[in-house]
Structure 1
């Protein structure tokens, strides 16, 4: 079932630290992935049609943002027992297949997703250099298909604004996707 994050964001909310294993064999904290000018954390999974539709554009925009000094990471928090496609081994295969230039982290106990208030895949969190939440929108207007021809790259543009001004856009359209698959 499709769901959306809240439309209003709390700009006084700061990124919660974490320590999670990644598909590259390392363990990362928020500090490890943080960029000097901002950081994007997205909650995704391997099986969601919304994620599958945008993942190559996510990778493209992540490369651009990392070149601009913005850190980037993806987190999978889905219950892999109930959804085997989201297992750690399948996460590694998904990251390799799409050439992730960023860490793909496994939130097996789902504590990070709960701490962030993540509700769907994909769910985008854009933080300023001081870890303040500045963006909780979408990648672009493409949902389960390609974006319209002249569609703005909303995440990319928002994070470039955050990097230069410390503020996010006044108007943000929430993402939509499959709900996080919570454990029992």
Structure 2
């Protein structure tokens, strides 16, 4: 089912969390906010929307990380229901697309619920205080030609890093519904 994300609730304070990657390495959000903020993304392996943007997502997040903006991805789907999203497949998907960010398993789906994530991909751009400043899409290319795209997420996260505030105009991300238990 295709869903759109809600509009950005500017200033909403993201709840702290600790999750592990498929190898068992823990990641705690509050330790990675950084001076330039943190991008928290809810993605999965099987969603055609995520698959369509995976290369652009990898490139844009590498750029953000090279500029000191931290990035993490969370997989909240019930992978027992959708085996393609299993931790082993998460590792494969991350390697296939060259993800440089931690890709974490939300085993009990508590983080996805706490954030109010609704679809994959769902982007939460946080400033250094952990306040939500962006809840838009990756870019305007959607699943089509990306040669002349406007990299909205990249631009927004750079603005958040510089000013602490996101752009007032944002276009909702869209994608597959999160597969809740």
Which TM bucket (shorter chain)?
over 0.9
Partner of 2:97: 98
Partner of 1:52: 51
Runs of 4+ in 1 over 4 A off after TM superposition: none
Partner of 2:161: 163
Any gaps of 5 or more consecutive residues in structure 1? none
Cα distance in 2, alignment partners of residues 101 and 25 from structure 1: 17
Partner of 2:6: 6
Q: Does 169-178 or 14-23 show the bigger shift?
A: 14-23
Conserved 8 A contact 2:141-2:150: no
Secondary structure of 2:176's counterpart equals strand
Give the alignment of 1:35-184 within 5 angstroms.
Answer: 35-147=34-146, 149-183=147-181
Secondary structure of 2:168's counterpart equals coil
Partner of 1:22: 21
With normalisation by structure 2, the TM-score equals: 0.96
- Output the aligned Cα RMSD: 1.2
Cα distance in 1, alignment partners of residues 164 and 91 from structure 2: 33
With normalisation by structure 1, the TM-score equals: 0.94
Cα distance in 1, alignment partners of residues 163 and 129 from structure 2: 12
User: Per the alignment, do residues 141 and 64 of structure 1 end up closer, same or farther by CA in structure 2, a change over 3 Å counting?
Assistant: same
Cα drift, residue 24 of structure 1: 4.7
Any gaps of 5 or more consecutive residues in structure 2? none
Q: Name the count of aligned residue pairs.
A: 181
Cα distance in 1, alignment partners of residues 159 and 85 from structure 2: 33
Conserved 8 A contact 1:34-1:72: no
Cα distance in 1, alignment partners of residues 145 and 22 from structure 2: 27
